[in-house]
Structure 1
Amino acid sequence: MSSEGHCDSLRSCVRTNLQEFFDHLEDSQTTDLHQRILREVEPPLLELTLKQCNGNQSHAAKMLGINRNTLKKKMDLYQIEAR
Structure 2
Amino acid sequence: MCSLWALERSDARKRAQRNDQSYKQSLSYKNTKGQSSVKNFGQLVQHLFNHKTYHRGQVSTLLSQENVDVGVTDLLLEIPESSMQ
* Range class of TM-score, shorter chain: 0.3 to 0.5
TM-score, normalised to structure 1, is 0.35
TM-score, normalised to structure 2, is 0.34
Structure with higher strand content: 2
User: RCO (CA 8 Å, sep 6+): is it higher in 1 or 2?
Assistant: 2
